[in-house]
A and B are shown apart, each in its own frame.
Chain A
Amino acid sequence: NAGVTQTPKFQVLKTGQSMTLQCAQDMNHEYMSWYRQDPGMGLRLIHYSVGAGITDQGEVPNGYNVSRSTTEDFPLRLLSAAPSQTSVYFCASKLGGATYGYTFGSGTRLTVV
């Protein structure tokens, strides 16, 4: 049981490049979310999903796309990277129903130059 796995752990992009941050969980969790964390800003919700085929926007969705074709995977796509997207990105998942605690991945540290 690996939990929530994020790849890559570190990434440097040039402005305008696109890339996909990978997130996979092996706990059969229904809910998955992407957050970004900037210094002094806490965790801000980018996109979330309540099941395969269902996604919705969070607080800061602009510049990011998601899809959820399987229960296990929830990739985050940066369409055209900008320096403002330099951040630490966390993926998280949890069971549905009366369960409340999210399990977080270890994060992807992204720098856009």
Chain B
Amino acid sequence: GQSLEQPSEVTAVEGAIVQINCTYQTSGFYGLSWYQQHDGGAPTFLSYNALDGLEETGRFSSFLSRSDSYGYLLLQELQMKDSASYFCAVRVLYNQGGKLIFGQGTELSVKP
């Protein structure tokens, strides 16, 4: 089976730093992605890690440790517009790279 674990809710204040963790147990692993979703709208792609280490994209960074089956999304200088749901997703097949399995999502609330 496939299992991705994320906290269901996280709350932080504007300007702070928040980390959203994701642990996974999947039949295969070829990369970890992160997506953002506002108010049930279309999810949008944030980042991807195939190898261990930190990937940085502006205020957002994503980390992966394959030996620990663990990754996290780090959001810095939080803004009110960052209030959204965040999903981790594992690419579980190599030759069929389209097969993504998602976690249940973390709802981030940013307070003034």
Q: In the complex, how many angstroms separate the beta carbon of A66 from the nearest chain B beta carbon?
A: 13
A106 to chain B: closest residue by CB: B42
Could you mark each residue 1-30 of chain B with 1 if its beta carbon is under 8 Å from any beta carbon of chain A, else 0? 010000010000000000000000000000
B interface secondary structure, majority: loop
Interface residues of B in 73-112 (CB under 8 A from A): 87, 89, 91, 96-105
* Chain A interface bracket (under 10, 10 to 19, 20 to 34, 35 or more): 20 to 34
Q: Check B102–A102 contact: CB distance below 8 A.
A: no
Q: Check B41–A33 contact: CB distance below 8 A.
A: no
Q: Check A42–B87 contact: CB distance below 8 A.
A: yes
* Chain B interface bracket (under 10, 10 to 19, 20 to 34, 35 or more): 20 to 34
Q: Check A48–B99 contact: CB distance below 8 A.
A: yes
* A45 vs B98: C-alpha distance when bound (angstroms): 11
* A40 vs B104: C-alpha distance when bound (angstroms): 6
Q: In the complex, how many angstroms separate the beta carbon of A49 from the nearest chain B beta carbon?
A: 7
Q: Check A104–B100 contact: CB distance below 8 A.
A: no
Q: Check A107–B98 contact: CB distance below 8 A.
A: no
Q: Check B43–A49 contact: CB distance below 8 A.
A: no
A-B contact count (CB 8 A): 70
Q: Check A42–B42 contact: CB distance below 8 A.
A: no
Point out the residue from A41, A59, A88, A104 that lies within 8 Å of B101, measured CB to CB. Answer: A59
* A48 vs B91: C-alpha distance when bound (angstroms): 13
- Residue A56 at the chain B interface, CB threshold 8 Å: yes
- Residue B71 at the chain A interface, CB threshold 8 Å: no
- Please report A residues at the B interface, Cβ cutoff 8 Å: 4, 30-33, 35, 37, 40-45, 48-50, 56, 58-59, 88, 90, 92, 94, 96, 100-107
Q: Could you jot down 26 A-B contacts, CB within 8 Å?
A: A4-B42, A33-B99, A35-B102, A40-B104, A41-B104, A42-B87, A42-B103, A43-B87, A43-B89, A43-B102, A44-B102, A45-B99, A49-B98, A50-B98, A56-B99, A58-B99, A59-B101, A90-B42, A100-B31, A101-B33, A102-B35, A102-B100, A103-B45, A104-B42, A104-B44, A107-B40
- Please report B residues at the A interface, Cβ cutoff 8 Å: 2, 8, 31, 33, 35, 40-45, 48, 50, 87, 89, 91, 96-105
